[in-house]
Structure 1
Amino acid sequence: MGNVAIVVASHGEFAKYALDSAQMIVGKQENCGSMSVTMDLTLDEAKKNMAKTIDELDCSNGLVILVDIFGGTPSNVSGNFLLENDNILVISGLNLPMLIELLLNRDKPLNQIALQLEEAYKQGFTNINKLFEERGEEDDECQIL
């Protein structure tokens, strides 16, 4: 199986910069795009922008759309495409660990990608204060790892 296409979508420019940041870590990626919902964009314009972004990609191996917030415009627009196609995975909760996980595992089937993104989302959260409290103040350096 080849690589799935990826669209990262968010309110504001978050998606664009998240994709830029992830590529800084894992390297430049092909067959990826981002879509930003800005204050001046109507719902119809958002749908057109998403369609344009998807049309520019090779989705023959599937498409993963990673959105910021469930129920927001990027999520709702993505849901419309999900209803029209059966080879799309839409996941909310965009964060950098999830995006990196997606970029590193985009050669897998959509159902496996979904499971890995769920796990990456959980592992991406660490209460560092709690971690420090559990480890105690054994030395003066601020070492977490």
Structure 2
Amino acid sequence: MAVSSRRLQKELTEIKTAGTPCGITLLKADDFQTWFLSLEVLGESQYKGEVFALMFRFDPQYPISAPAVQFVVDDKYKAPLHPHVYSNGHICASILGGEWSPVLSVIAVCITLQSMLASCKEKKRPPDNDRYVAHAPDNPKKTRFVYHESDSAAAP
């Protein structure tokens, strides 16, 4: 069994036995390639009452390499209106790129994104949303995001 499969089996077992933190629900994890989880920001926030879905795609190098993570955009779910989230669901977050660490887990990523949404002061798209979405690759890991303190910019 590959390292990624062992690690994902361990994470899935922990999720199924210990459960998930409040506001995070495992929707589907039928294999070790793609998982879906729902995310809700609890308490008073810009996103009160909204539920989002995240898609995690794992390559054979996980957890050495970050999973490809994006918000699901379909008939049921939409990407949150946030300065670091593009309308196609791609997320500009350093932990999904250069600051990824193998100690992070699927749940740790969900908690980080939950916190990112909870701290949002103004619901708006990144300034380059339309340009980025028009040229974005299917896999957000193929984007070279440029991280700034207060805003985001992408170079597909």
Structure 2 length normalisation: TM-score? 0.27
Rg (Cα) greater in structure: 1
TM score, norm. by length of structure 1: 0.28
Which structure has greater helix proportion?
1
